[in-house]
Structure 1
């Protein structure tokens, strides 16, 4: 009693017919999940931050703290 030989002809094509759509679906699902769990909240956080951000006020605070060498505080 011997085991039958495995069918090797066309094996790659048969395997790809199943695995290629599965891989594509998983990749698409991962990309959509990343978009809505990482990038969209990050974009919203940036938008919320820059709604109330005042660059001139921030610059003046850093100038008064002596962060810049070329910009002197207004009191001198």
Structure 2
């Protein structure tokens, strides 16, 4: 009794027909998951922060704290 020969011809094409769509689908799922779990909340957090951000108030508080070397505090 002899053993059956392994299939060698067309093996890559046969395996790619299964693995390529699977890899493509998983990569689309991972990209969508990243977009909706990381990117969108981050963009919303930035939008919420800058809705109430006052740059002049922040500048004046840093100026009073002495952060800038080229700007003198207004109280001195």
1:9 paired with 2:9, answer yes
Aligned counterparts of 1:7 and 1:39: Cα–Cα separation in 2: 46
TM-score by length of 2: 0.97
- Count residues in correspondence: 76
Aligned counterparts of 2:55 and 2:66: Cα–Cα separation in 1: 17
Q: 5+ unaligned residues in a row in structure 1: which ranges? A: none
Deviation of the 1:53 alpha carbon: 0.3
Q: 5+ unaligned residues in a row in structure 2: which ranges? A: none
Please list the CA deviations of residues 9-48 of structure 1 after superposition, one character each: whole Å capped at 9, or x if unmatched: 0000000011000000000000000000000000000000
Cα RMSD of the aligned pairs, angstroms, is 0.6
TM-score by length of 1: 0.97
